[in-house]
Amino acid sequence: MTIKPLLLPALRGSFGSWVFYSCLIPISELGQRVHYAQEMQQTEELSKLIQRVLEGSRAQQIASYLSSTPERFFNSLVLATYKGEPKWLEVGNFQSQREKKIIDQLPDGMADSIGFLQFNGKERIFAIDGQHRLAGIKRALSESVPLEEDLVPIIVVGHKTTTAGMQRTRRLFTTLNKTAVSVKKMDIIALDEDDVMAITARRFVETDPRFTSPKIAVIGSTNLPAKSDGTLTVITNLYDILKRLFLFKIDETRDASLRFNRPSDVELDAYFEFASSYFTALADSFPAVAQLMKSKTPETVTRKYRHDGGGHVLFRPVGLEIITRISIEYAKHHQVELPKAVKAISALPTDLGKRPYAGTIWDARRGVVVLKGRQMALELCRHMTNLPLRKKDLLPRYRDFIGNKSAKLPSKVL
């Protein structure tokens, strides 16, 4: 396929030893002209591995984002060129008819940074940062998603196929990708307008008296703060609970559709009501939770149910997670509505000082929560509620975990 010449508006600059060009390119041209970074590999097997990874589920997620999100936006992809000779055409003699002195305000040499980058169509171009975005763009274009008017920002650098040139470009590739910092969960909760859990969590703490401060601690930590009077749990734990609820609601195991594609307002209301009904069921089935949600002095409630001696399992983030997971598993196994499942599993003990929590998620000697015991506590709860176990031989595993060869399994409650 013949690729035609292309002229892009651009800014030229330098950073360290790199000369770069910051351009705007039509998204269709990007999908047609740009390849993956497999050019940096010297074996066909590694090149094929890169392509398989890039064209997997993440590409489909990004393609779905492009097709369903009017507010879609990408930051700049970094591209490298070789085998061709892109030409820099600076504007030169830039003048303003209305404000003739404005050019005098530009730093020295800045006027020479404005121009166009010309591609003759023979260049080989590949992405060294933004390969998943490129894969998503290619997938969207192959599915005829209408993106013709979209302009994508790119940064273009030169690449040489010599040994030194390959090393230099690989170093840039790893620098850009290793130093990228994943968005923190707290930032997603505070700002994300596509993530269903984030939107719902904000709505709970902003509008629902059962969750307004201090009942939900709006902090970045996954643990309760040292001073947590009046707090049921932290907002990051609420987010995780909502994810489990919503995956159950849509009968999925992966959360991509919940994180990247904002539903309609009607659908968001349905998600909120679904979660709200779950927390209502918790309050109906566990009086301690109802006391906190209704209380105008919540600190008096939490002092009663969360203390150095343990207290109520639902007043610890890990306990809320366990009860939620068991409720969902019960609803699935017995094919009942979630509120009915919550009512059924409320037969489980709630005192951290008792089994199945003592010795698993609660260390009575030190008076602390032990997260490494979460899976064992879950298995014991499954045993006690007659749910399918994830692994066989629970008794020897339990004895080994708590270091007691004569221990017996806790009694079933259902």
260-303 confidence digits (pLDDT tens): 888 999 999 999 999 999 999 999 999 999 999 999 999 999 99
How high is the pLDDT of residue 399?
96
Length of the chain: 414
How high is the pLDDT of residue 35?
86
CB atoms within 10 A of CB 136: 25
The whole-number average pLDDT for the span 87-111 is 64
346-355 confidence digits (pLDDT tens): 999 999 999 9
Report which residue type is found at 146: P
The whole-number average pLDDT for the span 233-255 is 95
Contacts of 36 (CB under 8 A, 6+ apart): 50, 51, 54, 126, 127, 131, 134, 135
> What is the domain partition of the chain in residue ranges?
6-92+108-180, 186-402
Of the pLDDT bands very low, low, confident and very high (cuts 50, 70, 90), residue 1 is low
Q: Identify the residue with better confidence: 99 or 86.
A: 86
Out of 173-177, 223-227, 376-380, least confident range = 173-177
Top mean pLDDT of 31-35, 284-288, 363-367 is at 284-288
The whole-number average pLDDT for the span 202-217 is 91
* CA-wise closest residue to 239 among 154, 324, 165: 324
How high is the pLDDT of residue 125?
87
Of the pLDDT bands very low, low, confident and very high (cuts 50, 70, 90), residue 22 is very high
CB neighbour class for 301 (10 Å; exposed up to 12, middle 13-18, buried from 19):
buried
Helix (H, G, I), strand (E, B) or coil at 25: strand
Query: For residue 60, is pLDDT > 60?
Result: yes
Q: Which residue reads 């171009």 in tokens?
A: 125
Of the pLDDT bands very low, low, confident and very high (cuts 50, 70, 90), residue 17 is confident
Q: Regarding beta strands 306-307 and 18-26, do their DSSP bridges make them parallel or antiparallel, or are they unpaired?
A: unpaired
Contacts of 356 (CB under 8 A, 6+ apart): 348, 349, 376, 377, 380, 381, 384, 410
Structure tokens, 186: 């707290």
* CA-wise closest residue to 123 among 29, 43, 46: 29
Query: For residue 131, is pLDDT > 60?
Result: yes
3-state secondary structure 300-314: HHHHHHEECCEEEHH
- Helix ranges, 251-337 (H): 256-260, 265-285, 287-294, 298-305, 317-334
